[in-house]
Structure 1
Amino acid sequence: MSSTKQATERRRRAARVTGISGAAAFGVALGGSLAGATVFARKVLTPDSRRPDDTVVLAVHDDEVTLQLGPETTVAGRYGLWLDGGSGHARVGDVIRSDEEAGTVVRKLLSVDRGHLAPGPARWNAYYYWDSPARSMDLPSRDVTVESELGPMPAWLLEPERPTGRWAVLVHGRGARREECLRALPTLRRLGYTTLVISYRNDAGAPPAPDGRYNLGLSEWRDVEAAMQYAVQHGAEALVLGGWSMGGAITLQTLNQSRLSDLVEAVFLDSPVVDWGDVLTHHARLRRVPQVFGWMGSLVMGRRATRRLAGVHDPVDVARTNWVARADEIGHRMLIHHSIDDEFVPVGPSIALAAARPDLVTLERWDTARHCKEWNLDPQRWERVLADFLQPGRQQSGAPVGHCS
C-alpha cells in the first residue's frame, strides 16, 4: 500500500474513532441531562411533609422579639412563628429595627397564642393564623367532610350571619395548609358568603393521590369540584373560587374542566401559577441547575413513555397549565393579586394574562411582598380590593389593571 493510501486509511480510522467518541460523549451528556431532569421533575411533583425550622428567636423582651436576619424576617407586615415543632405559636408585626452587621432584626411582638416564646429555633408562618377559624380567628366555624373520588377530604365551613345563597370555595397552595386561606374569611363573611376552606389529595389528613404525586392542578381540580358539589347540595346558588399559588393553577383547571363551572360568578387568586413552564424555568435558575433540566423535566413528566421516571401514573402535560397561551379560554371574572417581588412564582404570566384578557382579568399589582404575602404587607388594601371586586351588582366585566404600591 502506498504511503498516500496508508495516510488516507489512518485519517478514516481516526474519523471513525472520533465519531464514536463524540456519539458516546453525547450519549453520556444526554443521559446526565435526563437524570438531572428526572430528579428535578420528581422534586416538583413530590409532596414534602417536612416543615423544618427556618429561623432563630434570639431574644424576647416585653412587646419585642429579636430574630435572625433573613429574607423573610426583614419584610414589613405581620406574620407568625411556629414554636416547638408547631405545638406553639406567636404573632409578630412590623420591623422596629434591624442590624445587618449583627445579623438581627427586631419586630413587634403582637401575641403568644400558645406555648412559650423563648430563644431558640422557630419556623416562619406566612399565614399569620395558626389553626381553624374558630380557634385562631374567633369566627364561628365547624369541621366538615367533603366526599371526593378518593375519599373524605376535611374542610372548614364558615357561615355568615345573613346567608345569601352565595358560597366561596378556597384552595391553598402547594405544600401549604388550609390556614393560608383564612385571611379572606372576614371579607367573605361580611359580604354574606358561606365559605368552605378545603383540603385536596396529598394534604395531611386527606387521601393521597394514586401515584402519591402532585399533578400541578391537572387532577387536583376534581377535589375542588367535589367541594363545589358539596356546596350545591347544601344550598349554594352561586359560587366564588379563591386560590393561592398552586391553588390558583388548580382553580384555573377547575374553571376549564368542571361541569359546575357555570355556577361560578367570579374568581380571586393570590400569586397564582398561571404558567407552570415559566415557574419550572425560574426554579431551575434559582437552583443553579442547567436550564435544560427545566424543559426536559417538563418532557419527562408529560410523556407517556417517560412519566414513570417522574413517578406519575398519568402524564402531567405542562402545556395545559399555560393560561397565557390559553387566554381565549378564560370565561370568568378574575381578580389577581401578585407582587413584582414574588421570589417563588414570577409575576410575568399574571401580567401577560391581564393584558390578554382586560375584559375579564383585573390585576392588582404589588411590590415588596414576597410569595403569597400581599395580605401580610397591607391587609386593609388586600381586603378592600377583594370586597370591591365581589360587591353585589358589580359590572360583569373586568376592571382596569391595578397599580403598584
Structure 2
Amino acid sequence: MRDGMGSGRHPGRIVAVTGIAVAGTAVALGIAGGVLATVMARRIVTPGGRRTDDVRVKGVDLVAGTITLACTADSVLQGDYSFWFSQDRGHAHLGEVLRLTPTRVTRRILRVDHGDLALAERGRLGGYSYLGPWDLGLAFEDVLVPTDVGAAPAWLVPAEEPDGRWVLQVHGRGVQRQETLRATPVFRDAGFTSLLVSYRNDGEAPMSGGGRYALGDAEWLDVDAAIAFAVARGATEIVLMGWSMGGAIVLQTATRSMLRDRIVGIVLDSPVLDWADVAKFHGGLLGLPAVVARGALEVLGRRWGGIFTGRTEPIDFGRLDFVTRAAELELPVLLMHSDDDGFVPATGSRALAGRRPDIVTFLPFAVARHTKLWNYDREGWNQAITNWLDEIAPTGRTPHPDRPVAAAAD
C-alpha cells in the first residue's frame, strides 16, 4: 500500500529533486553573472573603435548656415560643439541653439572643416572644438616624450613670455589630445606653457599591457615622463589637468611621481575618482545587478583575469580610489563636474569636495554633460581656472593686473 500522500512519491525524494533544481539554477545564474562580469571587465579596459553616429540629421541649410538635428541629451545643449558626421568622414563646428521643438533642434553652423555636410544623414556631437593647435592660431611644436614603452607624441604650446610655469593636459578614455586644446588659451593668458600629452594605448602613443587601458594605474608613468620632459625644458612649477580618465591618471601622477615636488596644483574636469562607482553606474544603465560591476572589477584586479581581459597586469582599484584616499591629497585642486554627466557620475567629485574643502575648490554644473563644461559655459569655466591660478600663485608673483591679489591662508 502506498503512503497517504496520494501521489505515490516519497517526500524526501521531492525535497531532494527541488534542492538539486534550486542549486542548478543558482549555478546557472552564477555562471551567467560571471560571464557578464568578464564581458564588462574586458569592455572597460579595451580602447574603443569607431564611435557611433547617434544623432540623426533632419536638414541642412548652408545658405542660412543652420543644421537641424533630432533631439538628444547632447544635441539640445547650449554652447559650441564639434560635430563628426558620415562615420567620421566629415567634421563641422556647431554653435548656438536657434530653434527647439520637442523632437528637433536647429543650431548655427560655425564652420565646416572637411566633408560634405549637406549630404550628412547622421553624426555625433563632441567637445573637441579644435582639431589641433593650428586652430588656435598659436605657435606650437610637435614633440616626442620619451617613455618606458617608446616615444609618445605631444604638442608644446609655449607661453608668450615663458617663466617656468607649465600645465600638462591629459585627455580621457577613448579620445586623444585634441580634447585638451580647449584649456590652452586660458592657461596661456595666465602665463603658462602647455604640454598636451598622449599616453599608452590611446591610439597615438605606443601600446603596452596587451593594448588595454590600466585606467590610470600605468598611464601615469607616461605623464611622469612628460613632467621630466618639461623639467628638462625649463619647467619649475607644473599644474596637472585631466579630463575624465585623465583625472584618474593625473591623481596617480601627483601621488606617485618622483618629481611631484614640481607639481603645484591639479585641475580636474569630469574626473573618475572611484572606478567602482563608475562601473556600478554603467551596469545600472545596462540593467545589470550591482554584483556584475563588482565582479568586473574583481576580474580586472586579479592576475588570472588577464586571461579574459587581455591585460598583462592586474589593476589596483584601491590605489585608484581617491574618494577613500582623500586624506592623502596635499595639493590644491580645482574640481569641475556636472550632475547630469551621463558617463562618470558626479557623486565621487561631490564626496571628495565634501571631505577636503581645505584644498578642493569645487565648481558644480547642473546641465553640461560629460567633459562638455567648457562648451556649455566657456566664460564661467575659463574664469574658474583663472581665479584658481591666481589663488595658488606663490608669494611674490604678480597676478593679472585686472584681478586682486588672493589673500594668504592663515
Q: What TM-score comes out, normalization by structure 2 length?
A: 0.90
The residue that corresponds to 1:300 in the other structure is: 299
Query: Is 1:153 the counterpart of 2:155 in the alignment?
Result: no
- Partner of 1:337: helix, strand, or coil? strand
RMSD over aligned Cα atoms: 2.4
CA distance in 2 between partners of 1:17 and 1:296 (Å): 30
Indicate the larger mover: 360-369 or 54-63: 54-63
The residue that corresponds to 2:51 in the other structure is: 51
Q: Which amino acid aligns with 2:359?
A: L
The residue that corresponds to 2:201 in the other structure is: 202
CA distance in 2 between partners of 1:265 and 1:393 (Å): 8
The residue that corresponds to 2:229 in the other structure is: 230
The residue that corresponds to 1:254 in the other structure is: 253
Indicate the larger mover: 19-28 or 44-53: 19-28
Indicate conservation of the 8 Å contact 1:53/1:121, yes or no: no
The residue that corresponds to 2:76 in the other structure is: 74
Query: Is 1:20 the counterpart of 2:17 in the alignment?
Result: no
Indicate the larger mover: 281-290 or 10-19: 10-19
Indicate conservation of the 8 Å contact 1:58/1:119, yes or no: no
Indicate the larger mover: 75-84 or 347-356: 75-84
The equivalent position to 2:92 in structure 1, one of 90, 108, 117, is 90
The residue that corresponds to 1:142 in the other structure is: 141
The residue that corresponds to 2:106 in the other structure is: 106
Query: Is 1:117 the counterpart of 2:103 in the alignment?
Result: no
Q: How far has the Cα of 1:124 moved from its partner? A: 2.7
The residue that corresponds to 1:402 in the other structure is: none
Q: Which amino acid aligns with 2:317?
A: V
Q: How far has the Cα of 1:84 moved from its partner? A: 4.3
The residue that corresponds to 2:168 in the other structure is: 169
Indicate conservation of the 8 Å contact 2:85/2:124, yes or no: no
CA distance in 2 between partners of 1:124 and 1:386 (Å): 28
Indicate conservation of the 8 Å contact 1:298/1:317, yes or no: no
Q: Deviations over 1:324-364 (max 9, x none)?
A: 11111111110011111111111111011011011111100
Q: How far has the Cα of 1:367 moved from its partner? A: 1.1
Q: Which amino acid aligns with 1:50?
A: R
Q: What TM-score comes out, normalization by structure 1 length?
A: 0.91
Query: Is 1:333 the counterpart of 2:332 in the alignment?
Result: yes
Q: Deviations over 1:161-212 (max 9, x none)?
A: 1001011111000001211101110011111211110111112222112211
Indicate the larger mover: 57-66 or 196-205: 57-66
Q: Deviations over 1:79-124 (max 9, x none)?
A: 1212444343221111111222xx3210112222334321423433
Indicate conservation of the 8 Å contact 1:266/1:332, yes or no: yes
Indicate conservation of the 8 Å contact 1:47/1:175, yes or no: yes
Indicate conservation of the 8 Å contact 1:145/1:152, yes or no: yes
CA distance in 1 between partners of 2:313 and 2:370 (Å): 29
Q: How far has the Cα of 1:50 moved from its partner? A: 1.2
Query: Is 1:273 the counterpart of 2:300 in the alignment?
Result: no
Q: Which amino acid aligns with 1:82?
A: W
CA pair 87-21 structure 1, distance change in 2 beyond 3 A: closer
Query: Is 1:133 the counterpart of 2:133 in the alignment?
Result: yes
CA distance in 2 between partners of 1:383 and 1:236 (Å): 23
- Partner of 1:359: helix, strand, or coil? coil
Indicate the larger mover: 158-167 or 209-218: 209-218
Residues matched between the structures, number: 393
Q: How far has the Cα of 1:307 moved from its partner? A: 3.8
- 1:360-399 aligned within 5 A: 360-391=359-390, 394=393
Indicate conservation of the 8 Å contact 1:147/1:153, yes or no: yes
Indicate conservation of the 8 Å contact 2:145/2:229, yes or no: yes
- 1:343-354 aligned within 5 A: 343-354=342-353
CA distance in 2 between partners of 1:50 and 1:83 (Å): 12
CA distance in 1 between partners of 2:357 and 2:210 (Å): 38
CA distance in 2 between partners of 1:22 and 1:184 (Å): 57
Indicate conservation of the 8 Å contact 2:74/2:125, yes or no: no
Q: How far has the Cα of 1:141 moved from its partner? A: 1.1
CA distance in 2 between partners of 1:70 and 1:314 (Å): 39
Indicate conservation of the 8 Å contact 1:58/1:120, yes or no: no
Q: Which amino acid aligns with 2:247?
A: G
- Partner of 1:53: helix, strand, or coil? coil
The residue that corresponds to 2:399 in the other structure is: none
Q: Which amino acid aligns with 1:280?
A: A
Indicate the larger mover: 290-299 or 116-125: 116-125
The residue that corresponds to 2:65 in the other structure is: 63
The residue that corresponds to 1:284 in the other structure is: 283
Q: How far has the Cα of 1:395 moved from its partner? A: 7.4
Q: Which amino acid aligns with 2:82?
A: G
Identity of aligned residues (%): 41
Q: How far has the Cα of 1:13 moved from its partner? A: 3.9
Q: Deviations over 1:6-35 (max 9, x none)?
A: x9x944444443333332222211111100
Q: How far has the Cα of 1:64 moved from its partner? A: 1.7
